[in-house]
Homo-oligomer: A and B are copies of this chain.
Amino acid sequence: MSLDTPTQKPYDRLSAALSEDLAAVNALIRDRMASKHAPRIPEVTAHLVEAGGKRIRPMLTLACARLCGYGGTDHVKLAATVEFIHTATLLHDDVVDESEQRRGRPTANLLWDNQSSVLVGDYLFARAFQLMVEPGSLRVLDILSNAAATIAEGEVLQLTVASDIDTPEETYLQVIRGKTAALFEAACKVGGVIAERDDTVIEALATYGDGLGVAFQMADDLLDWGGVDGEAGAIGKNIGDDFRERKMTLPVIRAIAAGDGEERAFWARTIGKGDQRDGDLEQALSLLQKHATLAQTRDEANAYVAKAKAALDVLPGDPLRDMLSDLADYVVARLN
């Protein structure tokens, strides 16, 4: 389809290199999403699954399995599993966040109702567990069921610390490991496990996935403020959503730590009490810029990218390895 030219984004190069496997994943997703008894299910999920999702998590499983020399077909099932888990969490997140837009389009809870989002999310979780059982690997099941628990725990933790302006950085890291990095890590690990590689390789894949996931979420949290320069992102995301939802992300945590009493009172009112007025978003942004915490967050993300890339060194030289390495760079490069 697309030519592998140096100007392509790493995502597109991976996508081209894995195009046959990805086509099989897409076919499997469509097949397993169907429900004979409840036509509402494919209606809701088709909306989400077709809505320009990048399939980054299933690509990680496919790429790691291939990079580890896997020659079977179970990686397709595991890649679809990972995407189902991701899609289920999106459906539930949108209910929890009362979101009205995702990727620039109305969310399922707005098009249908919260009930459908909750129940169809449950259906996708169940479908994911059916799929992950099929390859018959208990180690894979262990990894993916643990990831599912970490994800859910991270989501609850995020909810309980929302609006708590004393949230420490460690808690922020736990939250983003739960909401993002746990699934990236598991997606990479299971690729190595079905290829029956030794623990050194599997741990390296886990480190890569974790670093990529943490960096990805930090970048996402930064983009919610419009990026390092505070300019509006062009990715269909509203600037300041996290502020309005009173989420404690790294730029805010660091700005509160560095700020004076007057600034703390501002954060206590807007995030702590949720009393937000005209001009508060601009004021918040100017405080983040004053303390350079947007740039600091980018630097933190870059450190995780470096860790992710270094982990790949134990793997053999291979175009797929280089693409995974470039993908890690791109997670932060998209900020500039």
Contacts and interface: CB of A to CB of B under 8 A. Distances in A.
A31 to B, nearest CB: 14
Per DSSP, chain A at the interface is helix
A152 B95 contact: no
A93 to B, nearest CB: 9
Interface residues of A, number: 44
Nearest to A43: B160
A139 to B, nearest CB: 10
Interface string A140-157: 011001101101111111
Interface string A115-159: 110111111011101100100101001100110110111111101
A178 to B, nearest CB: 8
Interface stretch (A32-40, A259-267, A313-321): A32-40
Interface centre among A39, A41, A119 (most CB of B within 10 A): A119
B39 A122 contact: no
A19 interface: no
A163 to B, nearest CB: 12
A257 interface: no
A129 B145 contact: yes
Given A130-B145, A138-B133, A122 B152 contact: yes
Contact of A174 (B37, B121, B127, B159): B37
A92 interface: yes
A116 B156 contact: yes
Contact of A149 (B123, B136, B156): B123
Contacts of A156: 35, 38, 40-41, 116, 119-120, 123
Contacts of A148: 125-126, 129-130
A264 B96 CA distance: 39
Given A118-B95, A118-B96, A118-B118, A126 B138 contact: no
7 contacts: A41-B153, A96-B115, A119-B156, A123-B152, A123-B155, A125-B152, A138-B138
A157 B125 CA distance: 16
A114 interface: yes
Contacts of A115: 95-96, 159
Q: How many monomers of this chain does the complex have?
A: 2
Interface of A: 35, 37-41, 89, 92, 95-96, 114-116, 118-123, 125-127, 129-130, 133, 136, 138, 141-142, 145-146, 148-149, 151-157, 159-160, 174, 178
Given A95-B114, A115-B159, A121-B122, 20 more contacts: A37-B153, A38-B157, A39-B160, A40-B156, A92-B119, A95-B118, A119-B152, A119-B159, A120-B152, A122-B155, A123-B152, A123-B153, A126-B145, A126-B151, A129-B129, A129-B141, A129-B145, A129-B148, A130-B146, A138-B138
A114 B93 CA distance: 12
- Give the 10 A-B residue pairs with the shortest CB-CB distance, closest first: A123-B152, A126-B148, A126-B149, A38-B156, A129-B145, A122-B152, A38-B157, A96-B115, A130-B145, A40-B160
A159 B40 contact: yes
